[in-house]
Structure 1
């Protein structure tokens, strides 16, 4: 099956280690099978008077002084069995060490492949994917594969070798006893493979239920402020309880299936042992087989049944591993976003031109329709309009998070699609409405794009973002840890640190995607004024619902239902009837008055 083939590909570079592990377990099996032969020979030919038919065994006995010497020094045979057992244990140790080492390296390789691939998946995939499910696949599913590789994979080779060799030895000892000893084997094998086909489906259902449970937990912990703010604890507890019950029920089905398998296989195995004891004792009493042969068969039947009983565990882990490989493959098969394209890498100055641009997440339902405008380098463009009018979609096209369907977007007279994605994203800085800060120091967060940036630039960007004074008020200043997702900071502080993180890169195009909404009007004005006074002036695009924020822009685009319905400066738009004027009239007129006073 393709999943096993994929697993074999993951093992590339470590297959020799697995092979050595298989050799070690085969050697340990050989030594374990020698003990019953030694016991049989001791009972029948050294203590008893049966003629030794095997030339090899006769030569070994003669080498040790002959059977009469060994009969008088029976402790030597006990020493031989101890040595055989020690050698078996030594090779088992090597097997476990080698298989564990190879499994750890293989699973590290899988984790690296997954993480690298997830990092390169397009923005569109991450918008739709559930974080909890991705975490589940990268952790629990990888651990399932590791368990199979470290324990069961090498055991499969050892078990197959043991079954074949033990059956051969039993046939060479006595054909009738060998047939009796394997009479239930076909039934056990058939039952095991039926079980294997069932366990894959049941485990997949259980694994997916666990992924849903992880998603609920992840969402709850991430949105803990929202949960507490709206007193949604009881609802979240109920939702978690429902998913937990679903996971428990599906896991219980898996446990029940395993219980049925172990019960039936144990019954068949003990039935097999009973048949060997009954027939073997009867034939030993009749003299058809020797007592030593009966003792050897009792030992060998346990050796034969052990790997068969373990087949259930092996097939269970194999079924789980197959499901886990399939779930990991679903991620690895997703097409990645090619950042290092053969596109152009021109010097970006900041001239932007949209001409009859159409775009839709679903091409049948465009969210941007016939968009046309021009922005000169170093100027400020503002976008305003109702929620869902396409403002964020428009700026996402500029950073090539999505590619437009029709029309033309040009940066400095070069078609955007002809410019390398990685290059354009280095030159287009974007500050999102919901900033994400890492659980690091404030300094590390601001220097995220380039840790080698000097501190004086960090301070300068923080001053432009009007957050320097806030940072210096903390006990540790810029070395203050912000906590996971910036939980220790206020919304405005997080937003301003995110702004500092973007503008420190001196991108020729800077986009504020409604990112000034979390700051007060005075800070908003201070940030915009500092941006205008920068030495390296960028083309600035501001998305906002606040008239005071967009009023000073060189050009304002008013958007509604995916179209530009008005275009002009603040003064020009107030002179004409339309959406912009209605928004202005709805918002508090004193806001503009305060804005003008603060600017003066």
Structure 2
């Protein structure tokens, strides 16, 4: 079965019926400028995003254990290093004191001479007068610190590797879910989405989610645990200095909250503008020839510049506002550092704390503000990632097609019945109303009428590209809504006016109609549809590679390839939607013969604007405004002198007038 073309710049509503459906297009001039939509539910979307990591609970548990171990070893380092500082300082001071005296005697002597500050400092030290630095002890302490940091680094590397694996696997699953979702949503949903915008959600937004999670999850875990560990160690040294240092926490919360409130809506707007810009670029590149033909380069550039400027403006504001967190937090951290150093120095001077403990506390105070600053600086990444997640979740939450039926189609004979069918692309704009039609097996039914009459819609309803508003469609007596869509569509071959090809060889494009086809079957289909005639003129023959736009072959040759694809599929029923519109007159005549053979013993629906191509149809339906206004064969409808007669005369009036001035006499 030939696939319905999706690579068109405009939405996929049938060309003849687009006027009936309001379509949201991407990126007109000035579209969305100044808009800054707010995040619908930041916390809810963040929880949902983290919930996608649930299948990796065991790995996440291992990551948590490794992170705790790494953070614990890191926060123990300054405390142990402070012991080395105490040993060095005590040894340095002890070497200056008289040998053989006790520390108490030295302290008393200092007080007797009025040097109370030096006496208080010496009293708080673990010093032995006359004894210098014990380098063996200091060396063991330093080796212990080195071992702590090495082990912490190893644990952190393993943790980072495991987390990277979890994030990438979860993004892989997310992409699969989005791909599966796109195959489940009704065609009306895809019609209402600018393709570039949808592609942006599937590619750019998911990539942004992965990058955001990769950069923030590890830092959130490490920095969060580091803050807790550092606070515990600081309390073991001095509870009141810890309380002074913790003044930074409410400052961080207030600053971060205010920044998030202002920047989140900017990040949502940023990714919205990115999607609109992608939609404009995709549409312009796809229709590049038309842009050149109509000389609309300046208008396209102006439209691009408008959206691009809007994107640049909102991106700058988002990054600027979120970037305020880092300098503010660095300022707060530096203030705290100065206060701790001054107060700690006073404590050493009065003997309340040892120099090693003050040194350790100063390091902890820096370790305390640094993770807070890093957490605050990740606000922009978190907000950007959650904004992208919301856009992806909107796709995942889109309404799906009606549930599949489980009825089985009998071996298809091709009897088709439209029973009081009603349908409209928009609820308040009905297109087809109370349409009834019966087609016998093997009949060829041609559908004609003016643009917008509902011709393509009729066959799209048969394919279940759209669901009926009322009535039912029966194939061999079975309601198609009770049959799995794949089973129904596998019985129907379809050739569209827009030739859809994928990147691959001509052989592969033809074999798409039957993937297990042999080389002989592929070549037979190519010969029957005259593809073989031009393939041999190509350098690589059937191995010639063409892209999705069919570069390297003409529009008519692309159409022939799609017809060969349908020929190879050998369907039970056939739909031809202007299948010969892109071929020349001579080839069309030959194709009519080939398609006549293809339609043999098959129920066929032929949509045609060129009425000369459907003279041999068993039944011709003339549609206007979603209704069948006439029905019969070619001769009967001409004799009736109605809508079909007027359509026919409008196409052949000039040629017939030149050949025979009496040919336009009214039909009896």
TM over 0.5: yes
Per the alignment, residue 267 of structure 1 pairs with: 331
Could you say what secondary structure the match of 2:86 adopts? helix
Larger Cα Rg: Structure 1 or Structure 2?
2
| CA displacement at 1:567 relative to structure 2 | 1.4
Greater Cα offset, 458-467 or 158-167: 458-467
* Residue 547 of structure 2 is aligned to residue 505 of structure 1: no
* Residue 275 of structure 2 is aligned to residue 211 of structure 1: yes
| CA displacement at 1:275 relative to structure 2 | 1.2
Per the alignment, residue 55 of structure 2 pairs with: 13
CA shift in 2, pair 1:478/1:40, >3 Å? same
Could you say what secondary structure the match of 2:546 adopts? coil
CA-atom RMSD, angstroms? 2.4
Matches within 5 A, 1:478-489: 478-489=542-553
Matches within 5 A, 1:158-557: 158-337=222-401, 340-534=404-598, 537-557=601-621
CA shift in 2, pair 1:338/1:364, >3 Å? closer
Q: Is the 8 A contact 1:144 1:317 kept in 2?
A: no
* Residue 151 of structure 2 is aligned to residue 87 of structure 1: yes
Q: Distance in 2 between matches of 1:93 and 1:463?
A: 62
Q: Is the 8 A contact 2:323 2:377 kept in 1?
A: no
Q: Is the 8 A contact 1:28 1:88 kept in 2?
A: yes
1:184-208 Cα offsets, whole Å, 9 max, x none, are 2211122223323333222111111
CA shift in 2, pair 1:277/1:402, >3 Å? same
Per the alignment, residue 77 of structure 2 pairs with: 35
Q: TM-score, normalised by structure 1?
A: 0.91
| CA displacement at 1:466 relative to structure 2 | 2.6
| CA displacement at 1:592 relative to structure 2 | 8.4
Could you say what secondary structure the match of 2:458 adopts? helix
Per the alignment, residue 62 of structure 1 pairs with: none
Q: Distance in 2 between matches of 1:158 and 1:77?
A: 25
Aligned length: 579
| CA displacement at 1:303 relative to structure 2 | 0.8
Per the alignment, residue 117 of structure 1 pairs with: 181
Q: Is the 8 A contact 1:182 1:272 kept in 2?
A: no
Q: Distance in 1 between matches of 2:223 and 2:160?
A: 15
Per the alignment, residue 44 of structure 2 pairs with: 2
Per the alignment, residue 61 of structure 1 pairs with: none
CA shift in 2, pair 1:253/1:458, >3 Å? same
Q: Distance in 1 between matches of 2:525 and 2:277?
A: 42
| CA displacement at 1:217 relative to structure 2 | 1.5
Could you say what secondary structure the match of 1:357 adopts? strand
Q: TM-score, normalised by structure 2?
A: 0.82
Q: Distance in 2 between matches of 1:384 and 1:536?
A: 21
Q: Unaligned regions of 5+ residues in structure 1, if any?
A: 52-66, 595-600
Q: Unaligned regions of 5+ residues in structure 2, if any?
A: 1-42, 95-102, 104-130, 659-668
Q: Distance in 2 between matches of 1:284 and 1:233?
A: 75
* Residue 197 of structure 2 is aligned to residue 133 of structure 1: yes
Q: Which has the higher contact order (CA 8 A, sep 6+)?
A: 2
| CA displacement at 1:226 relative to structure 2 | 2.3
CA shift in 2, pair 1:11/1:259, >3 Å? closer
Q: Is the 8 A contact 1:506 1:536 kept in 2?
A: no
| CA displacement at 1:80 relative to structure 2 | 2.8
Per the alignment, residue 64 of structure 2 pairs with: 22
CA shift in 2, pair 1:81/1:349, >3 Å? same
| CA displacement at 1:93 relative to structure 2 | 1.1
Q: Is the 8 A contact 1:102 1:150 kept in 2?
A: no
CA shift in 2, pair 1:484/1:353, >3 Å? closer
